[in-house]
A = this chain, B = another copy of it.
Amino acid sequence: MDKAERWLEETLQYRFNDVALLQLALTHRSARKQNNERLEFLGDAVLDVVVSEVVYLARPGASEGDLSKLRASLVKTGSLARLALDLGLGDYLILGSGEQKSGGHRRESILADGMEALFGAVFLDGGIEAATTLINRVFQDRYETLPDEKDLRDSKTRLQEWLQARKMSLPEYDLVAETGKDHRKMFSVACTVTEVSLVTEGTSTTRRKAEQKAARAMLEILAEKNA
């Protein structure tokens, strides 16, 4: 039995019927034309449905928007890469020599894609039940520390909710500066909450991001004043 198979059996408690699928799942596109990209497509969908069911059942009061955010917090690239590191996936990835030399087995996107490809391979090899069992096992700790969905909302939404809960009127956002030109523009937005005479400012590459920054700054001040 090769070392990847042993790792999978010991760490993930899964044994492949078709070991070629495991090899394919571990093969990055830098190594070979026959690589894990198609399995990643499949595994991404498998992971989504498994995690969707978990958050749906875990949060009966959450809106579909909040469910999406909860799911995204679990399956986003950074989270999957973290999971891959915890499991030691990087040691078994098959990379091209260039990627190998430049530390590809520690690169977030490569780790996350490999994780998804592995889920896709288990799905093809053992069916949806096997994939569900494996995914739920490796996500168990994350499920137990699932964030409050409210904390995942964006700053503008949270600021609005904070003010509404206190019967205060909504904040105003005004563009106060636009500097640089064309593809290098920067936007500065002021967020004003009239009832407490507070103004914060946010600057970023898009108007929307600048508004979010200004809202976050406002939330921090309000939370401090209220503490």
Contact = CB atoms under 8 A, between A and B. Distances in A.
Interface of A: 37-38, 40-42, 45-46, 48-49, 52-53, 56, 62-64, 67-68, 123-124, 128-129, 132
A38 B64 contact: yes
A120 to B, nearest CB: 8
Contact of A67 (B38, B53, B67): B38
A164 to B, nearest CB: 18
Given A37-B63, A37-B64, A63-B37, A52 B56 contact: no
A185 to B, nearest CB: 12
Q: How many copies does the complex hold?
A: 2
A42 B48 contact: no
A118 to B, nearest CB: 15
Chain A, interface SS category: helix
A24 to B, nearest CB: 12
Contacts of A129: 128
A162 to B, nearest CB: 23
A10 B55 CA distance: 32
10 contacts: A38-B62, A38-B64, A41-B52, A42-B52, A45-B45, A46-B49, A48-B48, A49-B49, A128-B129, A128-B132
Contact of A38 (B40, B49, B63, B128): B63
